[in-house]
Structure 1
Amino acid sequence: MNKDIILLRTVEVAAIASYKYIGMKDKNMVDQAAVEAFEVMLRNERGFKLKVVNGEGELDNAPMLYVNQFLGDLNDPEVPTFDVSVDPIEGTNPAAYNFAGSISTISISRENTMLQMPEMYMEKFFVKDKYSNLINLSEGIINNVLRLQEFENRKDLRCIILDKPRHNKIIQELSKLGVVTRLIQDGDVLAAIDVVNGEADFVYGIGGAPEGCLMASLALASGCKMQSRLINYNQIWPNEKETESRMEKENAWMSKHNIDTSSILSDYDLVSDERTRFFAAGLTAGGSLKPIKYKKGKFFVNGFMASHGIVRNFSSIYDVNKVNNLKPDIKYLFDKYKR
Structure 2
Amino acid sequence: MEAPTRNLALDLARVTEAAALSSARWLGRGDKESGDKAAVDAMRKSFSTLEIDGRVIIGEGEKDEAPMLYNGEKVGSGNGPGMDVAVDPVEGTRLLAYGRPNAISVVGMAPKNTMFNPGPSFYMKKLVVPEAARDIVDIDAPADEMLKKIAKVLGKDVDDMTVFVLDKPRHAKIIEEIRRAGARILLHTDGDITGSLMAVNPKSDVDVMMGTGGTPEGVLSAIAIRIMGGAMIAKLDPQLVDEKNSLIDAGIDTRRVYTEKDLVKSDDLYFSATGISGGSFLGGVSFSGYGATTHTLSMRGLTGSIRYMEAVHNFETLMKVSNVKYD
- The partner residue of 1:8 within 5, 8, 13 is 13
SS state at 1:7 partner? helix
1:155-234 paired onto structure 2 within 5 Å: 155=158, 156-195=160-199, 196=201, 197-234=203-240
Which position in structure 2 is the counterpart of 1:96? 97
Look up the equivalent residue of 1:15 and give its one-letter code: A
- The partner residue of 1:283 within 255, 270, 276 is 276
Inter-partner Cα distance in structure 1 for 2:163 and 2:129: 9
- How many residues get paired? 315
For the pair 1:42 / 2:47, whether they are aligned, the reply is yes
Inter-partner Cα distance in structure 2 for 1:2 and 1:270: 22
- The partner residue of 1:323 within 309, 315, 318 is 318
Look up the equivalent residue of 2:292 and give its one-letter code: F
SS state at 1:9 partner? helix
Look up the equivalent residue of 2:17 and give its one-letter code: E
Gaps of 5+ in 1: 235-242
1:1-339 paired onto structure 2 within 5 Å: 2-46=7-51, 48-74=52-78, 76=79, 79-117=80-118, 118-151=120-153, 152-155=155-158, 156-195=160-199, 196=201, 197-234=203-240, 243=241, 245-253=242-250, 255=251, 259-308=252-301, 309-325=304-320, 327-330=321-324, 333-334=325-326, 338=327
1:29, distance to aligned residue in structure 2 (A):
0.5
Q: 1:2 to 1:202 in 2, by over 3 A?
A: same
Equivalent pair of 1:138/1:264 in contact (CA under 8 Å): no
The percent of aligned pairs where both chains have the same amino acid is 28
Inter-partner Cα distance in structure 2 for 1:61 and 1:72: 21
Inter-partner Cα distance in structure 1 for 2:296 and 2:156: 34
1:2, distance to aligned residue in structure 2 (A):
4.5
Look up the equivalent residue of 1:304 and give its one-letter code: L
Inter-partner Cα distance in structure 2 for 1:91 and 1:153: 31
SS state at 2:60 partner? coil
Return the TM-score normalized by structure 1: 0.88
1:322, distance to aligned residue in structure 2 (A):
2.6
Gaps of 5+ in 2: 1-5
1:138, distance to aligned residue in structure 2 (A):
3.7
SS state at 1:284 partner? coil
Q: 1:285 to 1:122 in 2, by over 3 A?
A: farther
Look up the equivalent residue of 1:121 and give its one-letter code: Y
SS state at 2:25 partner? helix
Return the TM-score normalized by structure 2: 0.91
1:220, distance to aligned residue in structure 2 (A):
0.5
Equivalent pair of 1:222/1:307 in contact (CA under 8 Å): no
1:166, distance to aligned residue in structure 2 (A):
1.1
